A = this chain, B = another copy of it.
């Protein structure tokens, strides 16, 4: 049994480790087109600001460590073709400059996503970056030497994490967002201002509704960003306007691509092609609230998919439980989190949903360092079923309460169930009636009142 895994970061390495644990005999080979495998990509922004010491710290296991565990790791190795009938791959070894044919019995496509690069961002100018992998991070790090002005294009969570870390280095930061507000894919529109307020207080010049049209440069280096509302001077530009799943290999193999644009799989992470699995950011999943397919690339999801694929490729039987789209990020003092559906998500799906907004302090208001926490809680009218929550917390760690709602969503519980929950209380940790309970109480009453 030869298991070949294409892509050696979250999903790929989880699959390799799990397959190795499950099967003593299988040959397991990981092919990655880059030079780094098995690292925590979510930590990249923090190396730039200093909360993570260096890029090496992000590496969970080196190729040597993987090999010692009986997992073959080939870097600089790109899969350029596939013959799914013959179960062979065409593989180009970048270092040796050689192309070979590799057989497989089970193949995992864990090729992740690529950052979207608008046409204006395809450039030879130095100082223009995306942030997806360690080489991207290293390139930004190098560009930051002596830089004073950063321009971040895109107000999603990666852009916001970068803004915090650039400010930590003392740079001036302009954030350009095409849409009406920042954090637009995470929070409902009218809940986003709570994030924007803090980001602006921290000195980030946020310009929403602004479209980038081009770049300016001198001597091969970027000097600014042209927008429909004038030019923004910048020594460093990072483009963080979204990602697209890397599905070329899956397509070439004849695997079905879902309506979400990501690779379609069953609960065993099998694609529609026999012997070929997919896992990670390039793969869609079933959303446990909507029971529809969704493409929400996140770290735990990728690792879990990889784990399931690894077990199954090695002859076991594991199933992926689905996702709730639970996400969290830190931006300056804020923790921002959501799980399940926003009100806008529910509206778009035609669900009859109702939301309440509650503001409180994260712990007893009389105890030191109590800070505001804002919660939006959403449920279905009629049934009272919980649909989702959004949290903005000024003690960032308090946004982790989102997991309590995720636990209830998973069980398809009601607002009453959440209100009935016996949550922990002591003054340094929460109010007697935690903000989640206050929100559940209010939502329950408003749902009953119609």
Contact = CB atoms under 8 A, between A and B. Distances in A.
Interface of A: 10, 40, 42-43, 46, 51-53, 57-58, 288, 298-301, 303, 321-330, 335, 337, 339, 364, 366-368, 395-404, 406-408, 410-411, 413, 417, 420-430, 432-433
A399 to B, nearest CB: 7
A425 B298 CA distance: 8
A22 B342 CA distance: 32
A50 to B, nearest CB: 8
A366 B422 contact: no
B364 A40 contact: yes
9 contacts: A288-B422, A300-B422, A300-B432, A300-B433, A328-B429, A335-B429, A396-B428, A401-B403, A406-B421
B403 A42 contact: no
A336 B335 CA distance: 23
Contacts of A43: 364, 366-367, 427
Closest 10 CB pairs of A and B: A407-B407, A328-B424, A321-B420, A324-B422, A57-B366, A51-B368, A411-B411, A330-B428, A326-B422, A300-B425
Nearest to A52: B366
B323 A422 contact: yes
A366 B53 contact: yes
Given A411-B411, A433-B303, A426 B42 contact: yes
Contacts of A401: 400, 403
A303 B53 contact: no
Contacts of A40: 364, 366, 427, 432
